[in-house]
Chains A and B, each alone.
Chain A
Amino acid sequence: MDGLLEEFGRGDAQARAESWRYSRHALRALEQQAFAAADGNAALPDALIERFDWPQTRGHRLVFVNGVLHAALSDASTSGAIVESDADGARTIRFRGKGVLHLVFVNAASTAPSRWNARLDIRVESGTAYLAEQHVGTEGAGVLGALASAIAIDAGAALKMVTLGDLPTSASLVRCNRIALADGSGVDATHALCGGRFQRFDIDAELAGKKARFDSRGVFALRGREHVDVHLNVRHAARDTTSDVLWRGVADGRARGILHGAITVAPGADGADARLETKNLLLSPHAEIDAQPVLEIHADEVKASHGATVGQLDERALFYLRSRGVPLAAARNLLIAGFCRTAFTHIEATDLRGPFEALLDAHLPQQAGSSE
């Protein structure tokens, strides 16, 4: 393999091949396409702007169109974040004290397939930062975006982050969060990944400082031919670190969902407490779920566990709802929604839960008409 795999994968050829084993075909399909550089000045329809113009984040917002900062739509004057642009094109964002920032990435399609790359360097130096990351786009010829975010949390600081991936079916997105946590710092992240043709999301968290804490929650709800590949790598490298990972996956139609969740406890990282849970619903005979929970433990004062399930809706729960007069389709949707929402309980800023629920509702597999 070459091309995109060289570009997006890390490590030697074998490590890359292993890490992309469930997405090789998706990647090859993209590789066979010729991409032009995406237009950073594409005009955005009003309907699209409405989708991210949340009133509560005005003055806290940066909008990137195909990876390029859109000055007219961006206003982060009251966000408390210091935004600078790096010499080599990366954007650095620093938080001191409380900060709230809404990042919007627009995949604006044009008449020919196009692609963009962007890099973010985020650092929380003190206090608690709130970060909302949103991915939207317009339908058209495919856009392939690549977003690499390096996130550093200094000692004692915290980051609460939510990401909403709501891509048009023609867009593909490869992104990674490489997170480094210093002493006593914490990250609390909730992700929802929906839509798109292919989404790959790498989350690498290095708990490098004592008592660092990492929480990751997420959902992917897929239908059609959507393909989402989530790779989580949590590394406990210092004493008394904690991680908690809880993901939910739903696949309908011909969709494919992959969750690789690896917990590594390095030698000497005693007192680590690591938990990982992934539960998945497979709703169609043509869909596929691949789960790969991994534990690598090199210390002994450790509590580590993981659980993974792939199954269907509970027939008894379904029967219960129907016996109360809820029609089958509605009962199924209710159960699926409940199943997914378990992952949203950590969203603290209550006013952000709205967009999450709306996104989920819009993307839940439409079960109406499906047979019993």
Chain B
Amino acid sequence: MAVERREIESALNRRYEAGFVTDIESESLPPGLNEDIVRAISARKDEPAWMTDWRLAAYRRWLTMTPPQWAKLKIAPIDFQAISYFSRPKKQPKSLDEVDPKLIETYDKLGVPLHERAKLAGVAVDVVFDSVSVHTTVHKQLADAGIVFCSMSTAIKEHPELVRKYLGTVVPQGDNYFAALNSAVFSDGSFVFIPAGVRCPMELSTYFRINAGHTGQFERTLIIAEERASVSYLEGCTAPMRDENQLHAAVVELVALDDASIKYSTVQNWYPGDENGVGGIYNFVTKRGDCRGARSRITWTQVETGSAITWKYPSCILRGDDSAGEFHSVALTHHRQQADTGTKMIHIGKNTKSKIISKGISAGRGQNTYRGLVKIEKGATGARNYTQCDSLLIGKQCGAHTFPYIEVKNPQAIVEHEATTSKISDDQLFYCRSRGIAEEDAVSMIVDGFCKQVFRELPMEFAVEAKKLLDVSLEGAVG
């Protein structure tokens, strides 16, 4: 056992692999937040006046709000005046050839297929470095299909009518504290528009990276699928290792019209802080999809292994009749990570369906919370929900919590919720070990099986990455 323990120790101390800093000249706004900063961000991005006003309105709204307290999180107060709200690489690239080689190197290190490989992988990638989108690949092929896939700042310039029509309609400026902050200072993000009847020919993907210190990342993503359109969108994120906590407060809005479908997958691997809980990203994200049209469908899939604190609830508003929402989640917390995540399924239309599969894994001193709401409104006749939340505990000092809210106002609706909490049983481990499988591998296998239902929902490349991430994050958790 002694040898094993040492191996475990060394595995435990494995470094966060994406934790390097890229030395790139960047220009940042001074830390602090006031109306001038909001105006300055807007000005730097050459935004039209309506956008500046929209930001200012959000900022004024934010000033009247207080940070939410209800989550079971241990969190040091955030000094919003110490954060720099805008940072971008100094050289603005015209084409990929002009992109700073160091930046390319960064994404190569991360394994992001930025270049030609993108075509091979059949993935279109948008890359957001600190605050600004640096490159979007395979523009042309998408444009031929009528699809708009670009950075948010480009969209504001080139498709203002679409942005104005949809921005803030799913997550309004004053929705919550962090959404209001994001609306005021958001720097960039992705914009996707799939016109009616178009099935997006490839997976769309965005990689987010926070690089500079003392900055926050506030991206805003807006995805619109018109009638009968469909799209699958992936997002991945990393950040360097730093002793400070950095704030990531994004807003993601999805709009699905009649018969449209949107699949949104996230593999979140922000820097989680070290084993003593120093540093790491505060990942406070508002993600919401609006199934506006009949028979529309939105699927959220997330694998959350990073961040010191994750606080997010990708939700679906099932407004259209026969619309469907799905939420598949694996959240892993190790060391002193905290995750408070879940979903909201608001059933408004008739015969709306939702499915929630949530798998929480807690190791070390990690705290993992599922918090969800299933709300069946009066008119949602025939609504159906199934929720399953399972928690796996690895270690004596971790915690797993489940807070589901079920509110039913329609007598024709059926809502089911099930939750279990358990540890990896000694029987399971013994069985594997008696078959010659090392303890670490056995745990990895069991965890993999535990998460299978969710991984199945991920696109291939992501599923592989997610599994790898999980293995790395979990190594050394058995003792």
Contacts and interface: CB of A to CB of B under 8 A. Distances in A.
A304 B413 contact: no
Contacts of A300: 393-396, 398, 423
B20 interface: no
B376 to A, nearest CB: 8
Interface in B196-251: none
Contacts of A280: 408
Q: Is the interface of A mostly helix, strand, loop or mixed?
A: strand
A292 B404 CA distance: 6
A305 interface: yes
B409 A288 contact: yes
A304 B411 contact: no
Interface in B389-432: 391, 393-423
B393 A291 contact: no
A355 interface: no
A280 B410 CA distance: 12
Interface in B342-398: 376, 378, 391, 393-398
Contacts of A289: 406-408
Contacts of B422: 302-304
Contacts of A305: 418-421
Contacts of B50: none
Contacts of B394: 300
A308 interface: yes
Q: Is the interface of B mostly helix, strand, loop or mixed?
A: strand
Given A304-B420, A307-B419, A292 B412 contact: no
Interface residues of A, number: 34
A309 B378 contact: no
Interface string A260-289: 000000010000000000001011110111
A311 interface: yes
A358 B409 CA distance: 29
Interface string B168-206: 000000000000000000000000000000000000000
Contacts of B70: 14, 18
B421 A294 contact: no
A310 B391 contact: no
B411 A309 contact: no
B69 interface: yes
A311 B391 contact: no
A287 B69 CA distance: 31
B410 A292 contact: no
A291 B402 CA distance: 13
Contacts of B421: 295, 297, 302-305
A290 interface: yes
A103 B193 CA distance: 68
A304 to B, nearest CB: 4
Given A292-B406, A293-B404, A311 B418 contact: no
B414 A311 contact: yes
B401 A310 contact: no
A297 B399 contact: yes
Given A14-B69, A285-B411, A297-B391, A308 B417 contact: yes
A287 B396 CA distance: 43
A298 interface: yes
A267 B70 CA distance: 22
Nearest to A270: B396
A296 B401 contact: yes
A292 B413 contact: no
Contact of B415 (A288, A304, A309): A309
Given A18-B70, A293-B404, 18 more contacts: A280-B408, A285-B411, A288-B408, A290-B407, A293-B419, A295-B401, A295-B419, A296-B402, A297-B399, A297-B400, A298-B398, A300-B395, A306-B418, A307-B417, A307-B419, A308-B404, A312-B411, A312-B414
Interface of B: 69-70, 376, 378, 391, 393-423
Interface of A: 14, 18, 267, 280, 282-285, 287-312
9 contacts: A283-B411, A285-B411, A289-B407, A295-B419, A300-B393, A303-B422, A304-B420, A308-B415, A310-B376
